[in-house]
Structure 1
Amino acid sequence: MKSPKPLSDQDIAKAFDGDRLRQARQLALRTKQSLADPLGVSPAAIGQYESGATPPRAELIPLLAHELDVPREFFAAGRPLARLETDDAFFRSLRSTTAKQRAKAVSYTEQLWELVHVIEKHVRLPAVNLPGFVSGENKPDVFPRDPIAAARALRKAWGLGTDPIPHLVRTIENQGIVTVLVPLVEEEVARIDAFSTMSLSRPIIVLSPDRANDVYRHRFTAAHELGHLVLHGDRPGGDPALEREADRFAAEFLTPGLIVQNLLPRRVDFRKLNQLSEQWGVSIKSLIYRCREVGLLSDATARRAYIRLNQLTEQGVVATQSVYQFVGEVPSLLRRAVELAEAHDVTIRSLAQELAWKPSQVRRMLGDADERPTLKLL
């Protein structure tokens, strides 16, 4: 099969998609002013290109592609495009993120949906098993509004009982929820450690280990985002009260209160807390909070326990463990789907061609941010 004839700059200008420019600019954390300057146009002109009021001149297409590090063909209309608003996503670190950072995260999620859409042309992914979710819409009143009751309901729906969940992220992916772990390492987005959305054809959770490469924090964050999907699919993001509800959901989903309250020590016992931490896959800090929550510790005793925990952590007695040491907590759904597709002659390069991306962008989306070869000593 012959490759399609490359589009000329004139062709791309005629079929220019302003949303593509907006998406690429936000992903690159570029303002309209910073993009306009090297092109020799005004910020208002960039706004007109993005709104579709006027297309850029053909000679500007290669310059736009160079500045935003995308192929020229990326700007041509004709490919499926997801359109998200900032309010469509829930951000784990809402108060510490700027509008520009959230816009980058939203554009990233749009592109993630595009990658999933293309992969599903070649591989059948697990069906979404999230009661009430149908093609980007969440039916109201399927789950209780109370976070604790909702966590118990989801455990029941997924057949998890009341036991510890050994591989949380794998469990989430097996229910058809797209989950990715992407290090957002740029200084401007370092504080965005998770976000999620129910507004596309599949629920999506994006996690990053960069702020705290700690598997227990990672698991709690994944459960927190799952709480948003279950509780808040019909509500806009941005409300701190929703973040607190998602925290309560996560605590109950990971450590069912009716079970764990009988296991918690009646006094501060770090040896026992560490055993429970390893058994249930949650941090000692969260277990101390649970002790206070069920009345086993007073507020003053809990504060002293937190102080002592910080000291033990600084001394290296309590050590964090990397997410990458736990295979079941590293997302693998999309990577394994691509590996399966490769067995049928679908390559990273051919997927990139369908998307009009660079192959390196596909690899980044799959979590392969570092493309250097690995040195192995025999």
Structure 2
Amino acid sequence: MKPRSPGFTAGRLTQARESAGLTKAELAGLVGVTSAAIGQYEAGERTPGPDILERLSNQVGQPLAFFMRPAPPTRSGVVFYRSFQAAARVARLKAQARMTFLWDAMDYFSSLIELPAVDMPKVGSLPWHPREITDQMIESAALIARQHWNLGDAPAPNIVWLLEGSGAVVMRLDLGSDKLEALSEWRDEDGRPYVILNSLKRNAFRSRADVAHELGHLLLHRHVTQEQLDDKETFKLIEEQAWQFAQNFLLPDTAFMRDVYSLNLDALRTLKPKWKVSIAFMLHRIYSLGVLSSDKYTNYRKYLAQRGWLKTEPFDIETEPEQPLLLKQMVEFMSERKIHSPDQLLTGLAFNPELLEELTQVDQGFFQLGHPRYPMNVKFSPKRRVG
């Protein structure tokens, strides 16, 4: 009889494989088994032997202890993506698996410390179907969000920190594809919104628009169903509504247009450091307010292309994207207060240390076993002489 691996959790293999960006066939080829065998392991129909489990562990980059943990969190809501292109399917699965790792970490941290309460803007009862959400409702939701954070007529400050301060979990992760800008999701189990931003996208100004776009989804589309997302026309409408929210939130019409003293591209360039959005984003906002006709807006897009600004605008290269701090502060707090050392956190979660460092944005090596991050509480005294 072949030896088996007691305590093996089938769902953890699926989570680890998808997080590594591997298909079943690719993992089977790396491990030296059939795709059918991988499918049986993940379905719980078979348990891999110790030698195969070790090979699986090496290929997906997770320690053996990870596969003995209880089943991973399950998804009960919908995930908002910018695109459902077939080419991005593996990247989407990887992103969703990374999201479940975040849930794992937050569940574990919540057993050790009190997490920040969720205090997101309350935009009232919106229709369940996106077709019934009006432009006025979207403008009102953006205004309520600005009032929630006391923004007045000023440009929004660090949006990532605004969300984190309201109990949302925001992460920048390498999603392995430039086809994905971001994704967001409400998690029913803890009533907390989660946002993942693609760290491959380094443009700070476009990233702010991405965050505002995901905020639009979270506030406007919390009750959208997967069936509605799967409908191409409804999906397109949902995306347009999220962008409309982002424009209203980032560029409130009266305050922004008061600053637009000229529609010259160089004049808009001077507004970019203040409003912290791209020139292309500003132009679209001006167009949506009816100041530019469709033909003139098209011409402005051509002017942007002539200057090479459709890809890289002024201030893009030297400006760093907004970085999340919430999880980093959590683990540092637990370490400094001696609630749990980095070693204990790593052992408790049984994650690959590099992945846990990426999730929590701590310094490289923070979770390496054998490297405590807080001082020992040992007292010394002078040695007594004998004689």
Q: TM-score, normalised by structure 2?
A: 0.81
Structure 2 equivalent of residue 176 of structure 1: 167
Structure 1 equivalent of residue 245 of structure 2: 249
Cα distance in 1 between the residues matched to 2:19 and 2:198: 16
Give the 3 Å change call, closer, same or farther, for CA 302–70 of structure 1 in structure 2: same
**Offset at 1:313?**
4.2
DSSP 3-state at the match of 1:198: strand
Aligned residues: 349
Residues 143-152 or 276-285, more deviating: 143-152
* Native 8 Å contact 2:169 2:193 kept in 1: yes
Residue 115 in structure 1 maps to residue 81 in structure 2: no
DSSP 3-state at the match of 1:204: strand
* Native 8 Å contact 2:126 2:220 kept in 1: no
* Native 8 Å contact 1:349 1:359 kept in 2: no
Residue 43 in structure 1 maps to residue 35 in structure 2: yes
Cα distance in 2 between the residues matched to 1:100 and 1:310: 32
* Native 8 Å contact 1:164 1:280 kept in 2: yes
Alignment of 1:5-44 (within 5 A): 13-44=5-36
Structure 2 equivalent of residue 3 of structure 1: none
Which residue identity lines up with residue 13 of structure 1 in the other structure? S
Residue 190 in structure 1 maps to residue 182 in structure 2: no
Q: Which has the higher contact order (CA 8 A, sep 6+)?
A: 1
Alignment of 1:153-302 (within 5 A): 153-184=144-175, 186=176, 189-200=177-188, 201=190, 202-211=192-201, 213-235=202-224, 236=226, 237-238=229-230, 239-265=235-261, 267-302=262-297
Give the 3 Å change call, closer, same or farther, for CA 310–38 of structure 1 in structure 2: closer
Cα distance in 2 between the residues matched to 1:14 and 1:356: 17
Structure 2: segments with no counterpart, 5+ residues: 367-387
Which residue identity lines up with residue 100 of structure 1 in the other structure? V
Cα distance in 1 between the residues matched to 2:218 and 2:37: 38
Would you identify which runs of 4 or more consecutive aligned residues in structure 1 move more than 4 Å? 138-144, 313-317, 368-372
Structure 2 equivalent of residue 312 of structure 1: 307
Give the 3 Å change call, closer, same or farther, for CA 316–21 of structure 1 in structure 2: closer
Identity of aligned residues (%): 28
**Offset at 1:232?**
1.1
Which residue identity lines up with residue 181 of structure 2 in the other structure? D
Q: TM-score, normalised by structure 1?
A: 0.82
**Offset at 1:35?**
2.1
Structure 1 equivalent of residue 328 of structure 2: 335
Structure 2 equivalent of residue 5 of structure 1: none
Structure 1 equivalent of residue 68 of structure 2: 76
* Native 8 Å contact 2:172 2:324 kept in 1: yes
* Native 8 Å contact 2:170 2:324 kept in 1: yes
- 1:142-169 deviations in Å (ceiling 9; x for gaps): 9994322211122223333332112211
**Offset at 1:318?**
2.3
* Native 8 Å contact 1:218 1:323 kept in 2: no
Cα distance in 2 between the residues matched to 1:362 and 1:269: 47
Cα distance in 2 between the residues matched to 1:371 and 1:77: 23
DSSP 3-state at the match of 1:88: coil
- 1:175-229 deviations in Å (ceiling 9; x for gaps): 0100011233x3xx23222111113422100112423x22110100000011111
* Native 8 Å contact 2:5 2:48 kept in 1: yes
- 1:66-100 deviations in Å (ceiling 9; x for gaps): 12111111111436x21227x72111344375221
Cα distance in 2 between the residues matched to 1:55 and 1:139: 48
- 1:259-304 deviations in Å (ceiling 9; x for gaps): 3234334x52234312322222111111111222222222222222
Alignment of 1:49-68 (within 5 A): 49-68=41-60
Larger radius of gyration: 2
- 1:82-136 deviations in Å (ceiling 9; x for gaps): 1227x72111344375221111110010001111222233333321112569xxx
DSSP 3-state at the match of 2:183: strand
